[in-house]
Structure formats: structure tokens, C-alpha cells
Amino acid sequence: MTEDRIDQLPKRLEFSIAALRSHPAPPEERAVHRMVLSPGRISGWGSTTTIGGNGVPSMDVDVVAMNGRICLIWKANLGGNCEQAGTVRRRGISQTVYDDRFPVRFTSGLVSDEVASLRLNRPGFGRIPVHDNVFQLNGGPSKPSFLIGRNRVGEVVTKIYVPGAPSGWEKLVDRAIKRWQRNPVGPPPQGIPSRR
């Protein structure tokens, strides 16, 4: 993909890529963000879907090769993560979501072409399906664990960290932050920067 084809990208993807590639402008320009095309290039991109389950829907994601890195962008929140290809091979790209809209938390992410199977290193969890290099663990263990990715001959090639369930205190703080974000009256709960 060449830089002159960036205009052909879907606008929502262009927005996410701009956030991942952008740099703040000088203060006199009010710190707006702008796409930085040099150095680096977008060499390719594609769209796919994770596999839902346990009350969690499938998630639409974009995979972008950019500036020598692989990026995974979740369409629902326009957020994304980028890693070097070697890092993706060793530990994937992942995001764990705790959201009241879903009955269970989930971890979704990206693995390299080498990964033929993916399992949690805890008993009671079956094989995690991988589709177009993306996965989604719907639910998860209560304690921190790892997703183990094996190649076709059974060798471990990837270990992806999966956090355990949030503590009662973390859930309470998360709910307080969400309430304050809907109605920002008074000082923000710990963890949210003040608007001063």
C-alpha cells in the first residue's frame, strides 16, 4: 500500500491510524493531532472478526502493517495497539475488557501465522478459536494466567498474559469513574485527571 492510497481507507480506520501515528503539534497550534506520513508507511491492512460466545458478541477488528509494526484496531472503540513483529510472535497483541454491557470479561487479540492452536494454561478451558490470526477468550480465569500458542508440531511459540478477575475494590473504583464521566460533578475519583 502506498501513501497516496491512504484516502481510500475507511474514515473510522483513518481516525484510529492517525491516533496511532500522530504527534502533537506545537502548543501554539493548540496541540491538535495530525497524520505523520514520514518516516514510515502503511504497507497493508485488512478487516476480520473475532469469534464471540458466552454472551459476548463477535468483535470487528482491523489489522494494519505500519511503520514496521503490526497494529490491531478494535472498531467498536477505535482503539488499537501496535507491536513489532517479533513481539507479536512472542506475546501477541491483546486487550482485556471489563464492561458492564457484557456478562463476562473477555480478552481479544492477535497472534502470528505460526500459531496453530491456542489454549489457556488453566484447567476447565477448552481450545480458544483463532480466525484470521485474531482470537477472543470469552470469560476467563479468576487468577492471572497465560494463553499458550503452539505451532503445528506442538512447540510453544507464544505466551499471552491474561489478567485475573478484578477485585471488588477495582470494580467499585471502575463504577465510580464511569458515574463521574457521565456526570462530572465534584472532584474526579482517583485515576481520572482533573480538568484544570
- Angstrom CA distances, 48 to 61, 69, 110, stand at 6, 18, 11
- Angstrom CA distances, 4 to 7, 9, 133, stand at 7, 11, 27
Closest CA to 133 of 109, 102, 155, 151: 109
Closest CA to 46 of 59, 58, 64: 64
Decide if 36 contacts 23 (C-beta within 8 A).
Answer: yes
Mean pLDDT of 57-73: 84
Handedness of CA 171, 175, 181, 186 (dihedral sign): negative
Q: Encode pLDDT of 132-185 as tens digits.
A: 999 988 887 778 889 999 999 999 999 999 887 765 666 666 677 777 778 877
In SS3 terms, 53-77 reads as: ECCECCCEEEEEEECCEEEEEECCC
Confidence of residue 39 (pLDDT cuts 50, 70, 90): very low
Question: What pLDDT is attached to residue 113?
Answer: 92
Question: What pLDDT is attached to residue 12?
Answer: 67
Q: Encode pLDDT of 100-122 as tens digits.
A: 666 677 888 999 999 999 998 88
32 vs 153: CA distance, rounded Å: 50
Greater confidence, 194 or 94?
A: 94
Q: Is the pLDDT of residue 2 over 70?
A: no
Decide if 138 contacts 58 (C-beta within 8 A).
Answer: no
Q: How many helices (H) and strands (E) does the chain have?
A: 3, 13
Handedness of CA 108, 111, 113, 118 (dihedral sign): negative
158 vs 34: CA distance, rounded Å: 35
